[in-house]
Protein backbone atom coordinates (compact mmCIF):
# COMPACT_ATOMS: atom_id res chain seq x y z
CA UNK A 1 0.00 0.00 0.00
CA UNK A 2 1.24 3.47 -0.82
CA UNK A 3 2.39 5.53 2.13
CA UNK A 4 0.54 8.72 2.91
CA UNK A 5 1.80 12.17 3.86
CA UNK A 6 1.10 11.35 7.50
CA UNK A 7 3.65 8.55 7.66
CA UNK A 8 6.30 9.67 5.17
CA UNK A 9 9.44 10.80 7.01
CA UNK A 10 11.03 14.09 6.07
CA UNK A 11 13.76 14.24 8.77
CA UNK A 12 14.90 11.27 10.82
CA UNK A 13 16.66 12.12 14.08
CA UNK A 14 16.07 8.80 15.85
CA UNK A 15 16.36 8.04 18.72
CA UNK A 16 15.45 11.65 19.49
CA UNK A 17 12.58 12.66 17.19
CA UNK A 18 11.11 12.22 13.72
CA UNK A 19 9.62 14.91 11.47
CA UNK A 20 7.04 13.78 8.92
CA UNK A 21 6.34 15.33 5.56
CA UNK A 22 2.98 16.67 6.70
CA UNK A 23 4.87 18.69 9.33
CA UNK A 24 3.99 16.85 12.51
CA UNK A 25 6.78 15.89 14.91
CA UNK A 26 7.04 12.68 16.91
CA UNK A 27 9.34 13.18 19.90
CA UNK A 28 10.76 9.94 21.25
CA UNK A 29 12.77 10.95 24.34
CA UNK A 30 11.76 12.63 27.61
CA UNK A 31 8.07 12.65 26.77
CA UNK A 32 6.92 11.54 30.26
CA UNK A 33 5.29 14.79 31.32
CA UNK A 34 4.48 14.87 35.03
CA UNK A 35 2.32 17.16 37.13
CA UNK A 36 3.74 19.62 39.65
CA UNK A 37 3.64 18.63 43.31
CA UNK A 38 2.35 20.51 46.34
CA UNK A 39 4.95 18.89 48.56
CA UNK A 40 7.65 16.51 47.39
CA UNK A 41 10.70 16.18 49.66
CA UNK A 42 9.64 19.47 51.19
CA UNK A 43 9.61 21.21 47.78
CA UNK A 44 6.44 22.58 46.22
CA UNK A 45 6.06 23.18 42.49
CA UNK A 46 3.45 24.78 40.27
CA UNK A 47 3.01 25.68 36.59
CA UNK A 48 2.35 29.15 35.24
CA UNK A 49 1.74 30.70 31.84
CA UNK A 50 4.38 33.38 32.27
CA UNK A 51 4.16 34.83 28.75
CA UNK A 52 0.67 33.89 27.52
CA UNK A 53 0.97 36.01 24.40
CA UNK A 54 3.87 33.77 23.32
CA UNK A 55 2.62 30.52 24.78
CA UNK A 56 5.62 30.32 27.12
CA UNK A 57 5.15 28.68 30.50
CA UNK A 58 7.34 27.61 33.39
CA UNK A 59 7.42 25.33 36.41
CA UNK A 60 8.24 27.15 39.64
CA UNK A 61 9.81 25.41 42.63
CA UNK A 62 9.72 26.63 46.23
CA UNK A 63 11.81 24.98 48.99
CA UNK A 64 10.36 24.16 52.38
CA UNK A 65 9.92 27.35 54.37
CA UNK A 66 10.80 26.91 58.02
CA UNK A 67 12.29 28.92 60.85
CA UNK A 68 15.66 28.87 59.07
CA UNK A 69 14.59 30.59 55.85
CA UNK A 70 11.01 31.85 56.20
CA UNK A 71 12.07 35.39 57.01
CA UNK A 72 14.82 35.87 54.44
CA UNK A 73 14.97 36.24 50.68
CA UNK A 74 16.22 33.23 48.74
CA UNK A 75 18.43 33.04 45.64
CA UNK A 76 16.57 32.54 42.36
CA UNK A 77 17.62 29.99 39.72
CA UNK A 78 16.27 30.26 36.17
CA UNK A 79 16.80 26.92 34.43
CA UNK A 80 16.83 26.06 30.71
CA UNK A 81 16.47 22.38 29.85
CA UNK A 82 18.51 20.56 27.21
CA UNK A 83 17.35 18.56 24.20
CA UNK A 84 19.11 19.89 21.12
CA UNK A 85 16.62 22.80 20.93
CA UNK A 86 14.12 20.24 19.58
CA UNK A 87 12.95 17.92 22.38
CA UNK A 88 12.57 17.44 26.17
CA UNK A 89 10.51 19.66 28.43
CA UNK A 90 10.60 21.54 31.71
CA UNK A 91 7.61 19.36 32.63
CA UNK A 92 9.16 15.93 32.00
CA UNK A 93 10.01 13.61 34.87
CA UNK A 94 13.76 13.92 34.33
CA UNK A 95 13.81 17.65 35.05
CA UNK A 96 11.10 17.49 37.72
CA UNK A 97 13.28 15.06 39.72
CA UNK A 98 16.48 17.03 39.17
CA UNK A 99 15.08 20.48 39.97
CA UNK A 100 13.27 19.18 43.04
CA UNK A 101 16.53 17.78 44.40
CA UNK A 102 18.53 20.90 43.52
CA UNK A 103 15.98 23.25 45.13
CA UNK A 104 15.93 21.15 48.30
CA UNK A 105 19.72 20.98 48.53
CA UNK A 106 20.49 24.60 47.60
CA UNK A 107 17.46 26.18 49.34
CA UNK A 108 16.67 28.31 46.29
CA UNK A 109 13.60 29.20 44.26
CA UNK A 110 13.75 27.79 40.73
CA UNK A 111 11.95 28.75 37.53
CA UNK A 112 12.26 26.02 34.89
CA UNK A 113 11.42 27.57 31.52
CA UNK A 114 9.33 25.82 28.87
CA UNK A 115 10.68 27.66 25.84
CA UNK A 116 9.23 26.81 22.43
CA UNK A 117 10.98 24.07 20.48
CA UNK A 118 12.21 23.69 16.92
CA UNK A 119 11.24 22.72 14.27
CA UNK A 120 7.75 24.11 14.91
CA UNK A 121 9.41 27.23 16.33
CA UNK A 122 12.90 27.45 14.81
CA UNK A 123 15.68 29.38 16.50
CA UNK A 124 16.07 32.17 17.46
CA UNK A 125 12.60 31.62 19.01
CA UNK A 126 14.04 29.55 21.88
CA UNK A 127 16.62 32.24 22.65
CA UNK A 128 14.01 35.00 22.58
CA UNK A 129 11.64 33.01 24.80
CA UNK A 130 14.44 32.35 27.29
CA UNK A 131 15.38 36.03 27.46
CA UNK A 132 11.75 37.09 27.86
CA UNK A 133 11.31 34.54 30.65
CA UNK A 134 14.31 35.99 32.49
CA UNK A 135 12.81 39.47 32.12
CA UNK A 136 9.56 38.12 33.57
CA UNK A 137 11.43 36.70 36.57
CA UNK A 138 13.19 40.03 37.10
CA UNK A 139 9.86 41.86 37.06
CA UNK A 140 8.11 39.40 39.36
CA UNK A 141 10.91 39.18 41.91
CA UNK A 142 11.35 42.96 42.00
CA UNK A 143 7.75 44.16 42.14
CA UNK A 144 5.43 41.61 40.63
CA UNK A 145 2.35 39.70 41.63
CA UNK A 146 3.78 36.17 41.72
CA UNK A 147 4.17 35.63 45.50
CA UNK A 148 6.79 32.89 45.42
CA UNK A 149 9.16 35.32 43.72
CA UNK A 150 8.04 38.69 45.08
CA UNK A 151 7.74 37.53 48.71
CA UNK A 152 10.55 34.97 48.91
CA UNK A 153 12.94 35.67 46.01
CA UNK A 154 16.06 37.84 46.13
CA UNK A 155 16.23 39.86 42.91
CA UNK A 156 19.90 40.63 43.63
CA UNK A 157 20.78 36.92 43.42
CA UNK A 158 19.44 35.63 40.11
CA UNK A 159 21.46 32.88 38.41
CA UNK A 160 20.70 31.19 35.09
CA UNK A 161 21.68 27.57 34.44
CA UNK A 162 21.12 24.92 31.81
CA UNK A 163 22.49 21.71 30.37
CA UNK A 164 23.51 20.86 26.78
CA UNK A 165 21.39 23.06 24.48
CA UNK A 166 20.23 24.75 27.68
CA UNK A 167 23.86 25.53 28.47
CA UNK A 168 24.15 27.15 25.06
CA UNK A 169 21.03 29.18 25.85
CA UNK A 170 22.62 30.27 29.14
CA UNK A 171 25.62 31.71 27.27
CA UNK A 172 23.47 33.57 24.76
CA UNK A 173 21.11 34.94 27.42
CA UNK A 174 24.11 36.10 29.49
CA UNK A 175 25.57 37.84 26.42
CA UNK A 176 22.24 39.57 25.84
CA UNK A 177 22.22 40.65 29.50
CA UNK A 178 25.50 42.41 28.75
CA UNK A 179 23.85 44.38 25.92
CA UNK A 180 20.34 44.99 27.24
CA UNK A 181 18.70 45.84 30.56
CA UNK A 182 16.63 43.21 32.32
CA UNK A 183 14.52 46.00 33.76
CA UNK A 184 13.46 46.98 37.28
CA UNK A 185 17.09 47.61 38.20
CA UNK A 186 17.76 43.87 38.28
CA UNK A 187 21.17 42.52 37.28
CA UNK A 188 22.04 38.94 36.42
CA UNK A 189 24.37 37.58 39.07
CA UNK A 190 25.62 34.24 37.76
CA UNK A 191 25.53 31.65 34.98
CA UNK A 192 26.10 27.89 35.08
CA UNK A 193 26.80 26.11 31.78
CA UNK A 194 26.51 22.34 32.12
CA UNK A 195 28.04 20.37 29.24
CA UNK A 196 27.12 23.25 26.88
CA UNK A 197 26.25 22.50 23.27
CA UNK A 198 28.81 24.48 21.28
CA UNK A 199 29.98 23.54 17.80
CA UNK A 200 32.06 24.82 14.92
CA UNK A 201 32.86 24.18 11.29
CA UNK A 202 36.32 22.75 11.96
CA UNK A 203 36.40 19.65 14.18
CA UNK A 204 38.49 19.81 17.34
CA UNK A 205 39.46 17.29 20.03
CA UNK A 206 37.19 14.27 20.25
CA UNK A 207 35.11 15.60 17.36
CA UNK A 208 37.94 14.41 15.11
CA UNK A 209 37.74 10.90 16.62
CA UNK A 210 33.95 10.63 16.33
CA UNK A 211 32.91 12.19 13.03
CA UNK A 212 29.45 10.57 13.11
CA UNK A 213 28.66 12.24 16.45
CA UNK A 214 29.99 15.52 15.12
CA UNK A 215 27.81 15.16 12.02
CA UNK A 216 24.72 14.59 14.20
CA UNK A 217 25.47 17.73 16.20
CA UNK A 218 25.91 19.62 12.94
CA UNK A 219 22.50 18.40 11.75
CA UNK A 220 20.83 19.40 15.01
CA UNK A 221 22.10 22.95 14.72
CA UNK A 222 21.37 23.43 11.02
CA UNK A 223 17.90 21.91 11.40
CA UNK A 224 16.88 23.90 14.49
CA UNK A 225 18.25 27.18 13.13
CA UNK A 226 17.44 27.29 9.39
CA UNK A 227 18.43 30.97 9.05
CA UNK A 228 21.87 30.44 10.62
CA UNK A 229 25.03 31.56 8.85
CA UNK A 230 26.48 28.10 9.57
CA UNK A 231 28.42 26.18 12.18
CA UNK A 232 30.57 29.20 13.00
CA UNK A 233 27.53 31.28 13.82
CA UNK A 234 28.41 33.00 17.15
CA UNK A 235 25.19 31.58 18.63
CA UNK A 236 26.60 28.04 18.39
CA UNK A 237 30.33 28.88 18.25
CA UNK A 238 31.03 31.83 20.56
CA UNK A 239 34.77 31.26 19.98
CA UNK A 240 34.51 31.75 16.20
CA UNK A 241 36.53 34.42 14.48
CA UNK A 242 34.53 37.62 14.49
CA UNK A 243 32.20 36.53 17.31
CA UNK A 244 31.45 39.13 20.00
CA UNK A 245 34.04 39.17 22.76
CA UNK A 246 33.23 37.01 25.77
CA UNK A 247 34.15 40.04 27.86
CA UNK A 248 30.59 41.17 27.13
CA UNK A 249 28.97 38.55 29.37
CA UNK A 250 26.43 40.34 31.53
CA UNK A 251 26.96 38.58 34.84
CA UNK A 252 29.52 38.55 37.64
CA UNK A 253 30.16 34.80 38.02
CA UNK A 254 30.27 31.79 35.71
CA UNK A 255 30.69 28.05 36.27
CA UNK A 256 31.46 25.75 33.35
CA UNK A 257 30.80 22.02 33.95
CA UNK A 258 32.37 19.40 31.69
CA UNK A 259 32.42 15.60 31.54
CA UNK A 260 35.53 13.64 30.58
CA UNK A 261 33.81 11.31 28.07
CA UNK A 262 31.56 13.97 26.55
CA UNK A 263 32.50 14.97 23.00
CA UNK A 264 31.42 18.53 23.85
CA UNK A 265 34.09 18.73 26.55
CA UNK A 266 36.83 20.19 24.32
CA UNK A 267 34.77 23.18 23.18
CA UNK A 268 33.64 23.75 26.75
CA UNK A 269 37.25 23.89 27.89
CA UNK A 270 38.15 26.33 25.11
CA UNK A 271 35.17 28.46 26.16
CA UNK A 272 36.41 28.52 29.76
CA UNK A 273 39.94 29.50 28.72
CA UNK A 274 38.76 32.18 26.28
CA UNK A 275 36.45 33.66 28.91
CA UNK A 276 39.20 33.65 31.54
CA UNK A 277 41.54 35.56 29.22
CA UNK A 278 38.94 37.82 27.56
CA UNK A 279 39.21 40.76 29.90
CA UNK A 280 35.79 40.01 31.39
CA UNK A 281 35.67 41.41 34.93
CA UNK A 282 33.87 38.47 36.55
CA UNK A 283 35.09 35.23 38.09
CA UNK A 284 34.89 31.88 36.30
CA UNK A 285 35.36 28.37 37.64
CA UNK A 286 35.39 24.97 36.00
CA UNK A 287 34.34 21.49 37.10
CA UNK A 288 35.28 18.44 35.05
CA UNK A 289 33.77 15.11 36.06
CA UNK A 290 36.20 12.24 35.43
CA UNK A 291 34.88 9.10 33.77
CA UNK A 292 31.48 10.63 33.02
CA UNK A 293 29.55 11.32 29.81
CA UNK A 294 27.07 13.94 28.65
CA UNK A 295 24.49 15.04 31.31
CA UNK A 296 25.32 11.99 33.44
CA UNK A 297 24.00 13.75 36.55
CA UNK A 298 20.45 13.73 35.18
CA UNK A 299 20.41 9.99 34.47
CA UNK A 300 22.54 8.83 37.42
CA UNK A 301 21.84 11.40 40.14
CA UNK A 302 23.03 9.19 43.01
CA UNK A 303 26.56 8.60 41.69
CA UNK A 304 29.54 10.17 43.44
CA UNK A 305 30.30 12.68 40.69
CA UNK A 306 26.67 13.83 40.57
CA UNK A 307 26.91 14.47 44.31
CA UNK A 308 30.08 16.50 43.85
CA UNK A 309 28.42 18.54 41.11
CA UNK A 310 25.37 19.13 43.29
CA UNK A 311 27.51 20.48 46.13
CA UNK A 312 29.39 22.80 43.75
CA UNK A 313 26.02 24.11 42.55
CA UNK A 314 24.87 24.67 46.13
CA UNK A 315 28.03 26.61 46.89
CA UNK A 316 27.79 28.66 43.69
CA UNK A 317 24.13 29.56 44.18
CA UNK A 318 24.61 30.62 47.79
Q: Using N-to-C axis directions, what is the helix angle for 93-106 and 304-317, rounded to 10°?
A: 60
57 catalytic per annotation: no
Q: Is 194 helix (H, G, I), strand (E, B) or coil?
A: strand
Of 276, 174, 280, the C-alpha closest to 235 is 174
262 catalytic per annotation: yes
Q: Which of 129, 195, 262, 289 is catalytic?
A: 262
- Dihedrals phi, psi of 83, to nearest 5 degrees: 125, 25
| 182 Cα distance to chain centroid | 18
47 catalytic per annotation: no
d(C-alpha 18, C-alpha 38), whole Å: 35
Q: Which of 152, 171, 294, 297 is catalytic?
A: 294
Of 228, 110, 134, the C-alpha closest to 183 is 134
d(C-alpha 51, C-alpha 48), whole Å: 9
Q: What is the H or E stretch that residue 109 is in? A: strand 109-114
Q: Are 295 and 55 in contact (CB under 8 A)?
A: no
Q: Which of 164, 224, 225, 289 is catalytic?
A: 164
Q: Are 70 and 126 in contact (CB under 8 A)?
A: no
Of 262, 236, 252, the C-alpha closest to 285 is 252
Q: Could you list the active site residues?
A: 164, 262, 294
Amino acid sequence: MDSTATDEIAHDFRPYFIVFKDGHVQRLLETDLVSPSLNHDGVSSKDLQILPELGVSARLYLPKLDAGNAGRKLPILVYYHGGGFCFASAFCGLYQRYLTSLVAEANVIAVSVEYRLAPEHPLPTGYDDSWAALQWVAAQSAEGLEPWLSEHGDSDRITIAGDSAGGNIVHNVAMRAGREELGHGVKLRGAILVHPFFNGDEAIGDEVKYPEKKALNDRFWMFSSPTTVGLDDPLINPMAEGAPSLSGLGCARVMVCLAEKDMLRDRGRVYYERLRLSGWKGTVEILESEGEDHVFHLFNPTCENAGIMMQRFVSFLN
